[in-house]
Amino acid sequence: MERLREKAAAFGIKLSDHQLEQFETYYEMLVEKNKVMNLTAITEKNEVIDKHFADSLALIKSGVSLTGQKILDIGTGAGFPGIPLKIAFPELEIVLLDSLNKRIKFLNEVIEALGLEKITAIHGRAEDFAKQKEYREQFDYVVSRAVANLTVLSEYCLPYVKEDGYFLPYKSGDIKEEAANSKKAVKILGGSIEDIISFEIPDTDMARTILKIHKTKATPKRFPRKAGLPTKEPIC
C-alpha cells in the first residue's frame, strides 16, 4: 500500500498507517467477494490501487472542500469513489446508492469491517430516491463514476444536489464535445458547467477528467423522469 500512499501524496493527501490498513482490508474483501459475484474486472493489486483507489481520491483535483460535506455516490458499485473518499476523509458524511442489493450487502460488510461511521449504503434506483424529501436537494456534492452519457447522468444526479452545491462526475479522457452537448440539459436541470479538470493519475498513463457542475437553482420537480426515459429520450 506504499504505492497508494505515494499517489495520494501526489494529490496532496496524507494517508496514515491506519488508513492504509483500511485500504488493505478493503482490497482483500473486494478480491474475496469478487470470486462469488461480479464486483470488478480489475483485481490485480497495483491496478486496483491505480484504477480504483487513487482514481477515487482524485476528486480532490476538482478543488472542492472535503472537510465535512455530505456526499451522495450514485451507482457506487463496489464502493467507488465513496469508500476510498470516506477512508481518506473520515469527517465526510457519505451515502452510497446502488440498484443491486448484493452490492449493498457487500458494502455494509466493508463499512462494518473498517469501522467507518457516518456512511450509509442504500439499495434502490436513482430516479426513485430523488423524489423523496430526505434525499432530494440534500447533498453538498453528488459524485458518480458510472459509465453514462453526461446528459443522462445529469438528470439522475442533479436533483440530489442542494442549491450552490456541485455534481462532480468522473470521466475518461477528452469529454469537451460531450460536455458541450449536455449544456442545455444541465441548465434545464438547474446546473451550470463551471469547470472541466483533466489530469493523469500519478505515475500512470491514465487520463481522467472531473467536471465541476454548479447547482445554481432548484431542479424542476418533473425530473428525474421514470426509469428508461432519460436514456431513450435525453433532454435536448
Binding residue per annotation — 137? no
Please state, as a whole number, how many other Cβ atoms lie within 10 Å of the Cβ of residue 41.
Answer: 8
75 is in an annotated binding site: yes
The reply to whether 24 sits in an annotated binding site is no
58 is in an annotated binding site: no
Does the annotation place 165 within a ligand binding site?
A: no
Which residue ranges make up the annotated binding site for S-adenosyl-L-methionine? Answer: 75, 80, 126-127, 145
Which residue ranges make up the annotated binding site? Answer: 75, 80, 126-127, 145
